[in-house]
Amino acid sequence: MSRADAGEINELHARLCKAIADPKRLLILDALRDGPRAVGDIAVELGMSQPNTSQHLAVLRARNIVRTARAGNTIYYSLTSLKVIEAIDLLREFMAEFMDEAARTDSVECG
């Protein structure tokens, strides 16, 4: 891989990470885990307004994390790849291990 290619990959990586760094966007991605969903359904499930949900979905769509399909007047959103969910799950596992280790360290220091 050339330096230019590596630089482009790093830039895309950073943009993707920024897009999924928002807690509401993580919730939206989790809601899409099992398949396509309409904006209204996602908004109701997450207790968000439809316009706010749409704004977050627009960010995810701009980063090619989600795609749309229209059925009549309804727009359905779906993940472009389940790999983003796998990556998020892996990060959550890492954080859980980190938190467990921190809790063990704190209990040893306090004991």
| 91 falls within a domain | no
CATH number of the CATH domain containing 50? 1.10.10.10
In total, how many domains does the chain have?
Answer: 1
Q: What is the pLDDT along the chain (111 residues), one digit of tens a residue?
A: 677 688 888 998 899 999 999 999 999 999 999 999 999 999 999 999 999 999 999 999 999 999 999 999 999 999 999 999 999 999 999 989 888 887 777 765 655
Range of the domain at 60: 3-80
Residue 66, beta-bridge partner list:
79
Q: Note the pTM of the prediction, 2 decimals.
A: 0.83
| 90 falls within a domain | no
